[in-house]
Amino acid sequence: MTSKVNMRELFHGMQQEMTQKLNLLRKNVVHAPTKGDAVELSWIEFLATYLPNRYCVDTAFIVDNTGACSEQIDLVIYDQQYSPFVFCHAGVKYIPAESVYAIFEVKQTLNKRHIIYAGEKAQSVRALKRTSVPIVHAGGTYPPRPVFDIVAGIITTSSDWTPTFGRAFQKVTETLMPLQCLNIGCVLDGGSFLLKPDETFEISSSEEALIFFFIKLFTQLQNLGTVPAMNIDLYSQALDSI
């Protein structure tokens, strides 16, 4: 005989656990940089726990085959299964642009300055050059996969605005250029948002902010499919022997 699990309770339990953890950090960690690092780590641990193993989550810089480099990104979701390499130098990670699925800026509060800053971070990644080469398989060769639009967003604990996603929020997002577009975001105390194809926002309740954010993010990652096969020869041209 099968039993039933209350999925609503499981989802809400996930949200309560994360909220309690971040609230504890907010109350007990006073020094701003330390608090910021701790919050970033909490989000990295959360996503790494609940996303499938094909996805890796880290703080990193993004690079392309020309040597161009993004600003440091608080939270990068990237491919672990098909990426041939991730550079790690002096404890800092550098991820090839082709391997990136999504990027997020993590802040304490949602406001105009932080949205613009997150948009600028997104632009620094999306402006990088990405390659795609054919994939050889047992039955022949798959053509190069078109590169997809990298998902970008912002994650905060609270908001400076009431309501969280009212006219003030929308006015700021309307000023962002295409490469700066924020597709998704979470304000743990106030709700989450998803930018729809018609450029309107789908908004969650504050009680289901984390649940909404995770499900919508996972759906977007699924829709992206697999990262393109990078042209590793172009990266290796930096070496004298090649």
Provide the annotated active-site residues.
74, 105, 107
Q: Are 157 and 39 in contact (CB under 8 A)?
A: yes
Report which of 149, 205, 202 is spatially closest to residue 180, judged by C-alpha positions. 149
- Separation of alpha carbons 110 and 117, rounded Å: 11
- Separation of alpha carbons 74 and 158, rounded Å: 17
Name the helix (H) or strand (E) containing 28.
helix 7-28
A 10 A CB-CB count for 199 gives 9
CA distances from 47 to 14, 18, 109 (A): 11, 11, 20
Q: Are 155 and 75 in contact (CB under 8 A)?
A: yes
Q: Are 130 and 18 in contact (CB under 8 A)?
A: no
